[in-house]
Amino acid sequence: MSRSQITRGARLTQADIAADRSVDARLDAGRPANDGIASARKGSARSDNDQRDDDDCPILHIDMDAFFASCELRSRPDLVGKPVIVGGDGSRGVVTAATYEARRFGIHSAMPMSRAKRLCPQVVVLPPNFALYSEVSAGVMAIFRDVTPLVEPLSLDEAFLDVSGARRRLGPPAVIAEMIRSRVYDEQAITCSVGVASTKFIAKLASTRAKPDGLLVVPADRVVAFLHPLAVGALWGVGDKTEEALQRLGLATVGDVANTPVDTLVRALGQSSGTHLAALAWGRDPRSVQVPEGEKSVGAEETFPRDIDDPEVIRRELLRLSERVAVRLRRQGYVGRTVVLKVRFADFTTITRSRTLRSATDVSHEIYATVRELYEALGLQRARLRLVGVRAEGLLAAADAPRQLLLDEPVAGWREAEQAVDRATARFGRGSVQPARLIDSGVDDGFGGAPVAPRPR
């Protein structure tokens, strides 16, 4: 299936392309007429100047457009062109992804679902399907790795690529970017936007500016002109709190930050953030594209449909979350050394408590025992909780991790029992074997005694 063969409401006719070029002109209206920043959109030809201007731009940032929603629309062509959001539809759900049609109503990700529905009563709400998104993501990442081994995924739907080594084989960065956009569309039937620049930070800004379904090249000598008119919130690492702090200093644009003494920024934001923002404001970003080495933590958390004050319900939830974390640790081949309990109260204040174990674990029995001790030590009485979470940090590869042997350790313990459960789950499906306590709400907490060792053969 080729890019042009896919039938979608948003796809292109020749008239569309002509219209898109006028859209490009509007997008670029805020920039000087001849600023050397080249953009292309929806398969249109590269502009004349990007051939020479992308020579110093080996970094690509590629971001799927409305990724989760786009994945859903592949199998729901009837919804193309309509406002669609993906997210939990419960009383406390938020928007995970929104099509551009939904965004026109002011809907954006992380918005409470109730508000999204008020803004657009006709919006179509779809539940998230993470297995599907992971599958599409794997396909997209495989395309990236065909181009270069230097791929740094940031999430399921975006990645940095360093294409320095691919130029001789595939051409200039902007040509490579267009080739990737075409392959993603042809092979996965979703669109993406690409920023091409000399640094990761500028490439990321450029891809955001190119959205949806566009390409933007920012040559190194145009970085300051591109960057300084932007609002401070465009800087990577500036969220609500930092933006407030910068506004208290009277700084509204990136250019304002650039022209502020570093000492002033450090006093307001701390050493690390202050010096980091000062460098970013001049487009200086020495970070190279890093192929990830592995996870640093694995966690699970759950917001209750309504606030809970029953300790027994909370313990059951902690057990369920410990199971989830342990299963994921084992599946990914990790053990964690530090166990973290997270508690969010009804008023949204959040606390964490952690304990570092003598030896790292991937056993839910140990994770739950630790997290339960941390929970009991809080002495919450009947405080109303909104959320609880469990996380394992300080991860090591399970194969490399030293095992603490105990004098009274049975030949086959909890770890072996849980691995057997993993095998049963793989064979019979999720939930086929689980602690009794998660099936029945009786007094048994599921960890009341030693596991039954497998019968010797």
* Positions that interact with DNA (CB under 7 A): 88, 91-94, 96, 109-110, 112, 114-115, 154-155, 157-158, 204, 236-243, 270-273, 295-303, 324, 328, 338, 348-356, 386-387, 389, 391
394 Ramachandran zone, left/alpha/beta (phi>0; psi -120 to 50): left
Contacts of 322 (CB under 8 A, 6+ apart): 364, 367, 368, 371, 390
Write the DSSP string, 168-216: HHH-SHHHHHHHHHHHHHHHHS--EEEEEESSHHHHHHHHHHH-SSEEE
Pick the closer one to DNA by CB: 120 or 166.
Answer: 120
Q: Are strands 59-64 and 84-87 parallel, antiparallel or unpaired?
A: unpaired
- Closest distance to DNA from the beta carbon of 244 (Å): 8
Distance, in Å, from the CA atom of 159 to the CA atom of 141, rounded to the nearest integer, reads 8
Pick the closer one to DNA by CB: 99 or 242.
Answer: 242
- Closest distance to DNA from the beta carbon of 96 (Å): 5
Task: Using CB atoms within 10 Å of the CB of residue 334, give its burial: 0 to 12 exposed, 13 to 18 middle, 19+ buried.
Answer: buried
* Beta-strand runs (E) in 202-277: 214-217
- Closest distance to DNA from the beta carbon of 237 (Å): 5
Tokens standing for residue 6: 């896919």
User: What is the distance between the terminal CA atoms of the chain, rounded to a whole angstrom?
Assistant: 55
- Closest distance to DNA from the beta carbon of 110 (Å): 3
Bond preceding residue 435 cis, omega within 30 of 0 = no
Pick the closer one to DNA by CB: 204 or 437.
Answer: 204
Pick the closer one to DNA by CB: 12 or 210.
Answer: 210
- Closest distance to DNA from the beta carbon of 167 (Å): 26
Distance, in Å, from the CA atom of 342 to the CA atom of 375, rounded to the nearest integer, reads 9
Catalytic option among 158, 178, 323, 366: 158
- Closest distance to DNA from the beta carbon of 142 (Å): 18
Distance, in Å, from the CA atom of 407 to the CA atom of 426, rounded to the nearest integer, reads 32
Task: Using CB atoms within 10 Å of the CB of residue 404, give its burial: 0 to 12 exposed, 13 to 18 middle, 19+ buried.
Answer: exposed
Does the annotation mark 158 as catalytic?
yes
Pick the closer one to DNA by CB: 116 or 180.
Answer: 116
Pick the closer one to DNA by CB: 85 or 166.
Answer: 85
Q: Yes or no: say if 355 and 338 are a contact pair by the CB < 8 Å rule.
A: yes
Residues tagged active-site:
158
